[in-house]
């Protein structure tokens, strides 16, 4: 058996390494399908129009306190808006439920995963944390650092190119221990682009409830799976509303859905199974934050707050999300239809059925290496490509190169 922690820790830097190699390659045909960031049709970074608008408003206001220290747990207005994005709007039906949730600002999704792991490790003392196989490799690094034993549950079946649902439930049911933590990707699973159906989510929730697992939802792509933020939060909201209540943590990132990668905007939300311990959750989180970074940065969170609280900006943001998700969908179908036209050996339906920024192509490590050496196309060893690296001008080239390496 391989050492999963060491294996994934090594992979954890891979997108950055691939990105660097791409930039050093002088070949004009080169294509970067490695790193998970959105790019325009011209292959350029795309600062969201609504983000630029909010930045301008904030600049114009020139509030003299804008660079002051904030609260340890973060900006409450930002957190309230972020929480409602995850768990649904605070209306009469949801107000009492939302009161069970403690939210703190974090250093983006990575910081939220880390804080969640540190907190859950201390509070629930799990024997294991269960991570999907495969997963975002940093999950291993983060949980290993938190001192919890990492175990893998079957998630993706490379032969069927589908969710390995039965085996997932079977392994969890027979091997997970009461009080263990399970990490689930809220939507647009990284790296496979394969999400459970609603029916499967219900069965997963039931299994977690039966086994008394604590749940950490990693939510880094809300709005990217379907272009609709409510749809993309369906699984989290389903778990949240089930009775009896489960211990649920959500690690929320605004890197992708606001294009604020370097600003490090995120939140960690805890819904505990009893409201009486809410205060102790907040003070434990504040303790961890204070010891590590005192408070999360304020600038990017200020932009997100502005957009989420201003009805006009909010509408524009949803439009920007559609612009990004539709472009990615267009590239999915262009890649798929070109492979079909070329009669490329193998089945390629998974490219269409997978969701979000990534596609798990099924290319082997040797084929991935050929793509790079021979065709200057950069992707991860796992065969994962970021569809945002595809453009109308390179998609036919990429399809032809895939065709040539699989023949
Ligand atoms: N979780 C998953 C599954 C991700 O893919 C990412 C980004 N690659 C993150 C968390 C964290 O990203 P960030 O720290 O930029 O929010």
Alpha carbon distance 127, 276 (integer Å)? 25
SS3 176: coil
Whole-number Å distance between alpha carbons of 92 and 59: 36
Q: What is the pLDDT of residue 277?
A: 65
Cα 344 to ligand 1 centre (Å):
33
Q: How far is CA 100 from CA 94, 156, 263, 316, in A?
A: 10, 33, 29, 30
Per the listing, tokens 């939220």 go with 112
CB 247 within 8 A of CB 271: yes
pLDDT recorded at residue 201:
98
Ligand 1 atom closest to Cα of residue 254: 16
Taking the C-alpha atoms of residue 15 and residue 324, their distance in angstroms, rounded to an integer, is 21
In the reported structure, the alpha carbon of residue 204 is separated from the centroid of ligand 1 by a whole-number distance in angstroms of 23
Q: Which atom of ligand 1 is nearest to the CA of 136?
A: 3
Calpha distance 89→47 (Å, rounded): 27
Ligand 1 pocket mutation pick from 15, 253, 297 by most atoms within 8 angstroms of CB? 253
Cα(2) to ligand 1 centroid in Å equals 24
Which residues carry out catalysis? 136, 218, 256
Q: How far is CA 234 from the centre of its chain?
A: 15
E strand intervals along 164-279: 181-185, 214-219, 248-253, 265-271
Q: Where are the alpha helices (DSSP H) in 242-310?
A: 278-292, 299-309
Low-confidence ranges of the chain (pLDDT < 70): 1, 275-278
| Cβ < 6 A, ligand 1 pocket | 36, 108-110, 113, 136, 185, 190, 218, 220, 253, 255, 261, 266
**Per-residue pLDDT tens for 115-136?**
999 999 999 999 999 999 999 9
pLDDT at 94: 87
Q: Report the 10 Å Cβ neighbour count for 152.
A: 15
What separation in Å is there between the alpha carbon of 407 and the centre of ligand 1? Answer: 34
Ligand 1 centroid to 112 CA: how many Å?
Answer: 10
* Minimal-distance CA residue to ligand 1 atom 7: 220
CB atoms within 10 A of CB 223: 26
Alpha carbons 183 and 201: distance in angstroms, whole number: 13
Q: Which atom of ligand 1 is nearest to the CA of 261?
A: 15
- ipTM score: 0.99
State residue 273's pLDDT score.
78
Pick the residue whose CA is nearest to atom 12 on ligand 1. 109
Distance between CA atoms of 17 and 14, rounded to whole angstroms? 5
Ligand 1 atom nearest residue 36's Cα: 8
Q: Exposed (0-12), middle (13-18) or buried (19+): which is 339, by Cβ within 10 Å?
A: buried
**Burial degree of 4 (CB within 10 A; 0-12, 13-18, 19+):** middle
Residue nearest atom 9 in ligand 1 by C-alpha distance: 109
| DSSP strand pairing (181-185 vs 128-133) | parallel
Range 241-268 burial, b when 16+ CB lie within 10 A, else e: eeeebbbbbbbbbbbbbbbbbebbbbbb
Residue pair 320/40 in contact by the 8 Å Cβ criterion: no
Ligand 1 center–CA 35 separation, angstroms? 11
Structure confidence at residue 4 (pLDDT): 85
Q: pTM above 0.90?
A: yes
Q: Which atom of ligand 1 is nearest to the CA of 265?
A: 16
Rg (CA), the chain: 21
Q: How far, in Å, from the CA of 342 to the mean position of ligand 1?
A: 35
Closest CA to 257 of 249, 269, 265: 265
Distances (CA, A) of 266 to 104, 182, 184: 9, 20, 17
Position 12 scores a pLDDT of: 78
Report yes or no: 332 and 387 within 8 Å, Cβ to Cβ.
yes
């Amino acid at each position: 058996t391989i050492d999963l922690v060491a294996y994934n820790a090594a992979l954890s830097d891979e997108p950055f390494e691939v990105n660097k190699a791409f930039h050093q390659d002088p070949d004009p045909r080169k294509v970067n399908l490695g790193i998970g960031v959105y790019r325009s049709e011209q292959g350029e970074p795309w600062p969201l129009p609504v983000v630029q608008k909010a930045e301008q408003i904030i600049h114009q206001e020139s509030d003299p306190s804008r660079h002051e220290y904030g609260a340890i747990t973060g900006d409450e207005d930002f957190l309230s808006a972020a929480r409602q994005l995850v768990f649904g709007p605070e209306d009469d039906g949801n107000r009492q439920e939302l009161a069970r949730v403690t939210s703190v600002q974090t250093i983006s999704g990575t910081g939220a995963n880390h804080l969640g792991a540190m907190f859950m490790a201390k509070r629930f003392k799990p024997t294991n944390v269960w991570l999907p196989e495969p997963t975002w490799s940093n999950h291993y690094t983060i949980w290993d650092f938190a001192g919890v034993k990492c175990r893998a549950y079957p998630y993706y079946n490379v032969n069927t190119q589908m969710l390995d649902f039965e085996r997932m439930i079977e392994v969890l049911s027979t091997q997970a221990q009461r009080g263990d933590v399970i990490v689930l990707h809220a939507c647009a699973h990284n790296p496979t682009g394969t999400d459970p159906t609603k029916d499967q989510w219900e069965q997963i929730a039931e299994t977690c409830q039966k086994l008394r697992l604590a749940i950490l939802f990693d939510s880094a792509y809300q709005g990217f799976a379907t272009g609709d933020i409510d749809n993309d939060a369906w699984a989290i909201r389903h778990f949240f509303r089930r009775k009896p209540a489960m211990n649920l943590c959500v690690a929320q990132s605004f890197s992708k859905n606001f294009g604020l990668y370097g600003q490090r905007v995120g939140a960690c939300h805890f819904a505990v199974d009893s409201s009486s311990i809410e205060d102790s959750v907040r003070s434990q989180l504040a303790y961890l934050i204070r010891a590590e970074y005192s408070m999360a940065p304020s600038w990017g969170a200020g932009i997100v707050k502005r957009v989420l609280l201003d009805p006009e900006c909010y509408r524009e943001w949803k439009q920007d999300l559609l612009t990004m998700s539709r472009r990615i969908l267009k590239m999915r179908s262009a890649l798929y239809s070109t492979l079909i036209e070329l009669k490329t050996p193998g089945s390629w339906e998974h490219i269409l059925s997978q969701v979000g920024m990534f596609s798990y192509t099924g290319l082997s490590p040797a084929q991935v290496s050929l793509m790079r050496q021979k065709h200057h196309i950069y992707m991860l060893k796992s065969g994962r490509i970021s569809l945002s690296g595809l453009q109308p001008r390179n998609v036919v080239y990429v399809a032809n190169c895939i065709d040539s390496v699989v023949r």
